[in-house]
Amino acid sequence: MRKVWVIATNSFRENIRDRILYNLLVFALIMIALSVFMVQLSTGEWQRITVDVGLSSISIFGSLMAIFLGISLVSKEIEKRTIYTVLAKPVSRSAFLLGKYLGLVITILVNISIMVVVYLVVIHILGMNFSWAQAQAIILIFFKLLIVVSIALFFSSFSTVTLSAIFTLSLFVLGHLTDEGKTFGEQSKKVLYKYATTVIYYLIPNLSNYSWLDSATYGIAMSPTDFGIRLGIAIITAGFFLALASIILERRDFV
């Protein structure tokens, strides 16, 4: 476990030095702060607009960080051949993979925390209260990103950076459309569509389950049972993709 933690801390330092991280973080903070000025332009429901813009910014830019940093976790190490130095030491490939994953998770956690602090300052300036529904939305966003990072890491374990980006972004979009796709299949008269959408619904992680933004804007909190189930499913799903990535990496020949 010590070796995993060493790899995780080194990965965290590398991620912090990545320029794209700062660009996304600054842009996200600007978007959250802009909600203060958007309030002045709105004719009504300014509180809902502030919550919606703030939480949406955290979700969107957090997802971009997870995808664009995650896809290069392993493939970049392979292309630069730095992975040979690491694997030459008494470190298993699974430990290397887990360390990389934890390093990026810590990076995302730090950046989301910064965005949340700015968000809290914004709503405090506007005299608004931070509700449990908003807290649930933020927690669900983080757990969704645990899945996204594991998916990006999975594709990164056997593909190039470009292909990993395409695959991850495709699965990310489809993951937010699984509910709509299943509904479309159920309403379709063609049996093929029904089976296809059902298969996609159960094969692709349902990322829309971790979007509580609309309800949070109205202060509607999720039940503790449902909330706990979604968090548990997120951990299991992330673990599943990490296991697949580990199996692929263990069998991959780098010579």
State the pLDDT at residue 184: 63
187 is a domain residue: no
232 is a domain residue: yes
184 is a domain residue: no
State the pLDDT at residue 138: 94
206 is a domain residue: no
Query: Which of 78-82, 209-213, 228-232 has the largest mean confidence?
Result: 228-232
**Is residue 186 over pLDDT 70?**
no
> Is the Cβ–Cβ distance between 147 and 207 less than 8 Å?
yes
95 is a domain residue: yes
Range of the domain at 222: 2-176+211-250
189 is a domain residue: no
> Is the Cβ–Cβ distance between 125 and 36 less than 8 Å?
yes
- Report the alpha-carbon distance of residue 209 to residue 140 in Å, rounded: 9
State the pLDDT at residue 254: 55
Question: Closest Cα partner for 33 from 58, 16, 64?
Answer: 58
Q: For the chain, how many structural domains are there in total?
A: 1
236 is a domain residue: yes
Token output for 223: 């039940």
Q: Enter the pTM of the model.
A: 0.86
Q: Angle of helix 132-156 relative to helix 46-70, nearest 10 degrees?
A: 20
190 is a domain residue: no
> Is the Cβ–Cβ distance between 66 and 24 less than 8 Å?
no
3-state SS class at 90? coil
- Report the alpha-carbon distance of residue 196 to residue 153 in Å, rounded: 26
